[in-house]
């Protein structure tokens, strides 16, 4: 197993480096977790060029659907880059109420996962391919928590 993990790690870290930078806000409630991903200014501009067909600076329903289909839902293959471990079990991360907005020329994707944390849990956001860097900007939690973060990924230890 170890050689395999080493190979996978080597395989990715040899050339992978982030080109998307996402500032993340996390809100942990009793029954769910709310995520807010704010894309960096450069990529927001480039993505708006592609998806904001009428060039009005916002993404209407049809434009937002196209955007999510191209840049959010494909992340399902990697569990939306979220690892949520509660006690011994890894919880299923299934986004709902997915919403795309544009604020101050930056694209924001907000979504909810229906995960209730009843045991000490670890919530991490990381892109295994390192193409996207997730920086933790703000946490609001009903429970006590500890943060371990870098400019590429982060983990929260939550103690319900």
What are the structure tokens assigned to 50, written together?
Answer: 């592609």
Specify the long-range contacts of residues 8-14, CB closer than 8 Å, at least 24 apart.
12/128, 12/129, 12/130, 13/130
Give the Cα separation of 107 and 101 in Å (integer).
6
Give the Cα separation of 93 and 114 in Å (integer).
8
Please report, as residue ranges, which positions from 94 to 153 form the binding site for other proteins (by CB under 8 A).
130-131, 133, 135, 150-152
124 sits in which H/E element: strand 121-125
Asked if 13 interacts with other proteins (CB under 8 A), we say: yes
Cβ distance to other proteins smaller for residue 26 or 47 = 47
Asked if 16 interacts with other proteins (CB under 8 A), we say: yes
Asked if 3 interacts with other proteins (CB under 8 A), we say: no
Asked if 77 interacts with other proteins (CB under 8 A), we say: no
Are 34 and 144 within 8 A, CB to CB?
no
Cβ distance to other proteins smaller for residue 74 or 87 = 74
Choices 8-16, 24-32, 56-64, 87-95 (CB under 8 A): range interacting with other proteins: 8-16
- In angstroms, give the least distance from the CB of 159 to other proteins: 25
Asked if 10 interacts with other proteins (CB under 8 A), we say: yes
Choices 14-22, 84-92, 93-101, 138-146 (CB under 8 A): range interacting with other proteins: 14-22
Please report, as residue ranges, which positions from 23 to 52 form the binding site for other proteins (by CB under 8 A).
40-43, 45-47, 49-50
Are 135 and 26 within 8 A, CB to CB?
no
Burial of 62 (0-12, 13-18, 19+ CB in 10 A): exposed
Where on the chain is the footprint of other proteins (CB under 8 A)? 10-11, 13-19, 21, 40-43, 45-47, 49-50, 53, 70-71, 130-131, 133, 135, 150-152
């Amino acid at each position: 197993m170890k050689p395999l993990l080493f190979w996978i790690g080597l395989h990715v870290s040899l050339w992978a480096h982030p080109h998307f930078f996402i500032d993340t806000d996390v809100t942990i409630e009793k029954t769910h977790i709310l995520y807010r991903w704010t894309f960096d200014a450069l990529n927001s501009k480039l993505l708006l060029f592609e998806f904001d067909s009428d060039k009005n600076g916002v993404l209407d329903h049809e434009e937002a659907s196209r955007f999510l289909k191209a840049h959010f839902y494909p992340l399902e293959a990697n569990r939306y880059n979220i690892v949520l471990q509660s006690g011994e079990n890894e919880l299923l991360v299934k986004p709902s109420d997915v919403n795309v907005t544009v604020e101050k020329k930056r694209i924001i994707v907000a979504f909810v996962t229906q995960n209730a944390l009843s045991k000490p849990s670890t919530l991490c956001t990381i892109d295994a391919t390192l193409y996207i860097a997730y920086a933790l900007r703000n946490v609001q939690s009903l429970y006590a928590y500890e943060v371990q973060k870098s400019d590429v990924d982060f983990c929260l230890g939550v103690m319900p």
